[in-house]
């Protein structure tokens, strides 16, 4: 239970004979400074707030969940009840394995893809026991990106290629936000494991997504740490988190296990005359086969905090309107009726001016300008 962001780092081997309780903080280990649980030990409390970053082992003949992770990601691996007392050593890596393309031709159905984001090492270091193997996922923006449980499998690296381990699947529909997949029978050989798929690729892993306003545009930035069959991204924008429309596309890289950065410049959002606008954005990522998924939505806050040199609002009013003049010159507002006749003209010299328009109810048109240029025009409804 350690609130330090660095957690604790073992400087020697540590043996637990009773209960390992993980409440808060990371336990950093290495192969020479190992955390070991004996046959009488158990573990509770592994979570995103507290896990073992590095290798650990467990001895005995009881089922066990290894509370391992890497960096900030908690990703446990588990064994079922071994049929003989043995010692198992586990470690999680939040990175692609060195080979992600070579698939075994048997057993069938053969794997089409393996994860581009993570793998586990699980080895039996003593004894002769066999046990089932569980892999866990959390399908958030920064995690495993498991997308289709129908095709999901446990993949095992046999030293030269990836095998479909036991032809395991878990559900017949879409995956829940978190879960695990278990081999259908005991594993007899150990080493490297990860998520595999017999059909749909494991989705693109998005590790960051942001939108910021500058004086003229909204800059939409995102980054991926892995991509598989990624055709393109569609950028969508809205004034709320429920209504979006597509505003542009950016070509994807295709296949990659490296960090890739993307940017889209939204030149239309800042043309709004309303100061302090919040725009919402989300990404739609589409594969070569047409499959797609959406990111979470994000907000670009307080756009247009420096409004155009001259602006008018509101445009639906009972006669009172405000004109903001941030130019260095005297601004002019001209209002025309529906027949095109000028019915009102005023010069605005101060920064803010409230006008009372004594005009009949109806639709009007206005023009805002100064000596050099027009700053805007639009409709004005008096009610």
- 9 or 300: whose pLDDT is higher? 9
Is 0.75 surpassed by the pTM of this model?
no
pLDDT tens readout for residues 348-361: 776 667 888 888 99
- Assigned token pair, 130: 């066999």
The average pLDDT across 257-281 equals 78
CB 61 within 8 A of CB 86: yes
CB 150 within 8 A of CB 99: no
Res 172 pLDDT > 50: no
- 280 or 269: whose pLDDT is higher? 280
The average pLDDT across 160-188 equals 78
Indicate the length of the chain as a whole number.
383
Which residues, including other chains, have CB under 8 Å from residue 365's CB and lie 6 or more apart? 335, 336, 337, 338, 377, 378, 379, 380
Range picked from 7-11, 116-120, 378-382 for highest mean pLDDT: 7-11
Give the model's pLDDT for residue 278: 82
pLDDT tens readout for residues 93-111: 988 899 988 999 887 788 8
pLDDT tens readout for residues 236-252: 998 888 889 999 999 99
- 143 or 226: whose pLDDT is higher? 226
pLDDT tens readout for residues 282-299: 999 988 878 788 888 898
- Assigned token pair, 82: 């071994």
Q: What percentage of the chain exceeds 70 in pLDDT?
A: 86
Query: Are β-strands 113-114 and 162-164 bridged in parallel, bridged antiparallel, or unpaired?
Result: unpaired
């Amino acid at each position: 239970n350690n609130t330090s962001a660095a957690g604790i780092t073992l400087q020697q081997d540590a043996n637990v004979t009773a209960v390992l309780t993980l409440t808060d903080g990371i336990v950093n280990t290495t192969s020479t400074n190992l955390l070991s649980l004996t046959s009488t030990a158990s573990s509770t409390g592994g979570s995103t707030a507290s896990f073992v970053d590095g290798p650990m082992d467990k001895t005995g003949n009881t089922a066990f969940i290894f509370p391992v992770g890497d960096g900030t990601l908690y990703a446990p691996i588990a064994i079922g009840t071994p049929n003989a007392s043995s010692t198992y050593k586990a470690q999680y890596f939040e990175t692609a394995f060195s080979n992600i393309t070579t698939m075994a031709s048997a057993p069938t159905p053969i794997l089409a893809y393996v994860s581009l984001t993570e793998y586990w090492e699980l080895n039996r270091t003593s004894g002769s026991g066999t046990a089932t193997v569980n892999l866990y996922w959390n399908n958030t923006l920064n995690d495993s990106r498991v997308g289709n449980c129908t095709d999901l499998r446990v993949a095992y690296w046999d030293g030269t290629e990836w095998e479909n381990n036991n032809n395991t699947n878990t559900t017949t529909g879409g995956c829940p936000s978190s879960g695990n997949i278990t081999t259908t029978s005991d594993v007899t050989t150990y080493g490297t494991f990860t998520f595999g798929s017999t059909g749909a690729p494991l989705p693109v892993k998005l590790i960051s997504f942001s939108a910021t306003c500058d004086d003229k545009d909204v800059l939409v930035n995102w980054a991926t740490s892995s991509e598989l069959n990624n055709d393109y991204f569609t950028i969508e924008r809205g004034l709320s988190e429920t209504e979006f429309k597509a505003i542009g596309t950016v070509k994807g890289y295709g296949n990659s296990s490296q960090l890739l950065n993307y940017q889209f410049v939204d030149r239309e959002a800042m043309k709004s005359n309303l100061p302090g606008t919040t725009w919402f954005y989300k990404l739609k990522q589409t594969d070569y086969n047409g499959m797609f998924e959406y990111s979470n939505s994000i907000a670009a806050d307080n756009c247009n905090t420096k409004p155009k040199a001259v602006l008018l609002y509101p445009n639906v009013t009972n006669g009172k309107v405000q004109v903001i003049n941030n130019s260095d010159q005297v601004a002019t507002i001209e209002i025309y009726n529906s027949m095109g006749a000028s019915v009102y003209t005023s010069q605005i010299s101060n920064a803010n001016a409230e006008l009372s328009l004594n005009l009949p109810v109806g639709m009007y048109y206005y023009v805002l300008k100064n000596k050099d240029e027009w700053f805007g025009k639009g409709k004005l409804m008096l009610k």
